[in-house]
Structure 1
Amino acid sequence: MRDFLPADKARRERVLAVIRERYRAHGFDEIETPVVEEHGRLHAGIGGDNEKLSYSILRRGLDADGIRAAADDPAALSDLGLRYDLTVPLARFYATNRGQLPTVFRSIQIGPVWRAERPQKGRYRQFVQCDIDIMGDDSARAEAELIVASLDTIDALGLEGGVVRVNDRRALDWMLDSFGFAEDERPGVLITIDKLDKVGADGVAEELRGRGVTPAAVDAFEAFLKRPKTLEYNPYGERQIRKALPEGAPDEIVAHLVSLGEAVTAARSDAGEPPLIYDPFLVRGMGYYTGTIFELAHPSVDYSLGGGGRYDGMIGRFLGQQVPAVGFSIGFERIVDLVAELEAESAQAVVLVHDADVPVAELLAHKAALLREGDVARVRLERRPKNLKALLERASADGYTGFAALRAGDAVGDLEVKPLS
């Protein structure tokens, strides 16, 4: 959990402003949910490993004896917790407010979430997520809208060239079934498959055998991973998808993925190559995904800058009837470190450096007069120090563009503003 100095905070807000503006341009509306949710909702078995990293809030009114009595039951100790993502709160929000929302609802959620991570570079215990979600649309149009809006957003931040890796949880389930993995083996198998890019085919096969899963299924999967491949290049489309999967992939799933690519390619026709890659081994760890899943990649880094997927089963847990839903989250903390410095607002930010004997009434009159000018957005009052240079350097670092010297008796509206750089 970090503090941010004024210059860092201003930079983060400029990036957030671009993200909000692009999301809104694509027809999404911003909502806000509480940072606290019910303990049972946060631990309903749909948050994957993030549930283990959640912060719980001790029940109010428990004394020492009550704490000892409930020590072995987390639900008895805690009735609330800090949200570990924005998707679970969104599902609860939609179930609560559905009657006031359109049939197809496009939401923006931007806010902090908390996970009890082991702190390291790029992993924080408090961080900002930027989510867009579409509820009420079960077609590939919803996924396409999310992908196009997300790519448009990183373009606006100066990170052109992004691509989205795409898969479908239904295709993964079908593939594992075709190899012969038992249904109860699949969660562990998926954890291992997710390491394919790190340990390779041999490493995956070795770990699967170490898990004790069906030996014949491991043999079939290993043979598939090591099958001969041609060097033929295929852009995203039916041929690429079918060549990446075992023979006999369900037509319905393939057609859904193909129509997604056609929609995104049409919207990004000026980008050249289709900005999608089919990855049959993309897993995504969240347990609530039910269909299409995706990750945002950029050539400047070897890690993802965001991702998401379809979670059609989640809202039904709270509403009592199924509602299709799909979301995409941009990794704000990763992106804010990558983007070049965005230009600050064009209006001036002025430091009024005044002598110690200037009456308060005069100070505030000069400040108000500057703020009434159309091209001045901010004014800070600073008493003249012995080291004026240090003060002006700090003001420049804080985003101020000019300064004016003020003495007692100076006429209001008659100050000379000089540039800081």
Structure 2
Amino acid sequence: MKMDNSPARGTRDLLPATVAVRDHVLARITEVYHRYGYQRIETPALEGIDRLTGGQGGENEKLIYRVLRRGLDETVAADTALTDLVDLGLRYDLTVPLTRFYGANQASLPQPFRSFQFGPVWRAERPQKGRYRQFYQCDIDLLGEETVLAEVELIEATTEALAAAGLSGATVRVSDRRFLSALAASVGLPEPEWAGLFITLDKLDKIGWDGVRAELSGRGLDDAAVDRLQASITDLQGGDQTTLDKRLLDALPGLPEQVVADLADTATALAGVDGLAWEFDPTLVRGMGYYTGQIFEITHPASKGSIAGGGRYDRLIGRSLGREVPACGFSIGFERIVDLIEGTTATDAVAVLYESDVPLPVVTATAREVRQGGRTASAVRRRGKFGAQLGKLQEWGFTSVLHVKDAVTPPEERPLGER
């Protein structure tokens, strides 16, 4: 019987050239995050199913890969409850494991704690371009900092990390869950209906105000209420970010003073960051239900969706620790970043191409000399047609070749692509 060597549907094998790009992106991001004081931690792929289904992950909880308990019989009764069969699941993000990690280890961690995580997560997605069932996330979180220093630092560090990886032209969008709640209350919508309003606003760029108006009418909002909602949002789109506090109060007079002050402090601090493009976006929602304050996303003209996102989640860690801990995090869409810059990064790799009669010590000494200069070198035996082999070397990622013809003739290096 022929063996099926294909990966599971929705997952991928990664060839060396792709892995090289991923390594480059991760190295640049890691370097920047370390300069800001973020420390790398690791958490297990498997988490208790009760924690994964605790209401922290929103729609992602419907996409969990569940793991059967050990020791089950080959067959079970038809009326057996799922909770009797499953006790673990694969993590769908890195935030839920972080809350458990901090609850278990906070006594041994610096305060505030700057966490950096990179690792695979799993979601039972419908596979499509840019969406995979196994993919990598890259997160930083600042735990124990109650001021907007956390928001500003996360935004600055992440935009700097993306630039270091080779991605320019990104824009940060900022909003606040407290602002969205005040906006919903201002048009007389009862609190149980707020989540539906947020979902509708999140679709504004796709369905336009006519579509939003139709959906909100179905939720019981009259035309006058929708007009007020549209006016508040329109007044806050674009405009001068340095006067955000005044514009917020003009558009929504009942907005709490702390929300205005926090957003104004963020605006002032971000204004001092060279090369950082950002805007307040009153329609930004974010899907996770655990956000309690400012939220943010990074967009790029070449990507249909956001390439990074996060926000403040002050009440989430308290579920594990028994007391509230200020917390704010930012997650980079690592796969999307790699897709955007793939093909734009170049590595310096030398092929030490040696004839079959060249003594082994000569070959290894030549390669060793190249490596001592900090470059990558691999010995490759000459075979077949010379031009065809050079083409293959270039295809495999080598940028130049040293042709070792014999034991006495010094080899000359030449870039691949030249004949």
TM range, smaller chain: 0.7 to 0.9
Residue 151 of structure 1, CA deviation: 1.5
User: What's the counterpart of residue 375 of structure 1?
Assistant: 373
In structure 2, give the amino acid aligned to 1:24: H
For the 8 Å contact 1:351–1:395, the answer to whether it is kept is: no
User: What's the counterpart of residue 394 of structure 1?
Assistant: 392
Residue number among 320, 332, 346 corresponding to 2:334 in the alignment: 332
For the 8 Å contact 1:240–1:278, the answer to whether it is kept is: no
Q: Report Cα offsets for 1:108-151 as digits up to 9, x if no partner.
A: 11122111111112211111211111000010000000011112
Secondary structure at the counterpart of residue 165 of structure 1: strand
For the 8 Å contact 2:182–2:254, the answer to whether it is kept is: no
In structure 1, give the amino acid aligned to 2:19: K
Secondary structure at the counterpart of residue 289 of structure 1: coil
TM-score, L = length of structure 2: 0.87
For the 8 Å contact 1:350–1:417, the answer to whether it is kept is: no
User: What's the counterpart of residue 316 of structure 1?
Assistant: 318
Residue number among 262, 268, 274 corresponding to 1:256 in the alignment: 262
For the 8 Å contact 1:7–1:397, the answer to whether it is kept is: no
Query: Percent identity among equivalent residues?
Result: 46
CA 1:62–1:354: 2 relative to 1, 3 Å = farther
Q: Report Cα offsets for 1:264-287 as digits up to 9, x if no partner.
A: 212x1x33xx73311222110011
Secondary structure at the counterpart of residue 327 of structure 1: strand
- Whole-angstrom distance in 2 between the partners of 1:179 and 1:393: 66
Residue 58 of structure 1, CA deviation: 1.5
Q: Aligned pair 1:238/2:240, yes or no?
A: no
CA 1:188–1:354: 2 relative to 1, 3 Å = same
User: What's the counterpart of residue 351 of structure 2?
Assistant: 350
- Whole-angstrom distance in 2 between the partners of 1:63 and 1:193: 49
User: What's the counterpart of residue 223 of structure 1?
Assistant: 227
- Whole-angstrom distance in 2 between the partners of 1:96 and 1:253: 32
For the 8 Å contact 1:194–1:282, the answer to whether it is kept is: yes
CA 1:209–1:364: 2 relative to 1, 3 Å = farther
User: What's the counterpart of residue 177 of structure 2?
Assistant: 169
Residue number among 361, 377, 382 corresponding to 1:384 in the alignment: 382
Alignment of 1:2-401 (within 5 A): 2-66=12-76, 68-70=78-80, 72-73=81-82, 75-210=83-218, 213=219, 215=220, 217-227=221-231, 233-236=239-242, 237-243=244-250, 245-266=251-272, 268=273, 270-271=274-275, 275-339=277-341, 341=343, 343-345=345-347, 348-355=349-356, 362-363=359-360, 366-367=363-364, 370-373=367-370, 374-375=372-373, 377-401=375-399
Segment drifting more, 307-316 vs 226-235: 226-235
TM-score, L = length of structure 1: 0.87
CA 1:397–1:167: 2 relative to 1, 3 Å = same
In structure 2, give the amino acid aligned to 1:57: V
CA 1:290–1:350: 2 relative to 1, 3 Å = same
Q: Report Cα offsets for 1:298-341 as digits up to 9, x if no partner.
A: 34444322110111111111111111110111112222222274
Structure 1 stretches lacking a partner, 5+ long: none
CA 1:88–1:397: 2 relative to 1, 3 Å = same
For the 8 Å contact 2:310–2:331, the answer to whether it is kept is: yes
Secondary structure at the counterpart of residue 317 of structure 2: helix
Residue 289 of structure 1, CA deviation: 0.8
Secondary structure at the counterpart of residue 352 of structure 1: strand
CA 1:45–1:67: 2 relative to 1, 3 Å = farther
- Whole-angstrom distance in 1 between the partners of 2:38 and 2:337: 21
- Whole-angstrom distance in 1 between the partners of 2:299 and 2:238: 23
CA 1:62–1:232: 2 relative to 1, 3 Å = closer
Structure 2 stretches lacking a partner, 5+ long: 1-10
For the 8 Å contact 2:172–2:278, the answer to whether it is kept is: yes
In structure 2, give the amino acid aligned to 1:5: L
Secondary structure at the counterpart of residue 76 of structure 2: helix
For the 8 Å contact 2:53–2:61, the answer to whether it is kept is: yes
Secondary structure at the counterpart of residue 66 of structure 1: coil
For the 8 Å contact 2:138–2:333, the answer to whether it is kept is: yes
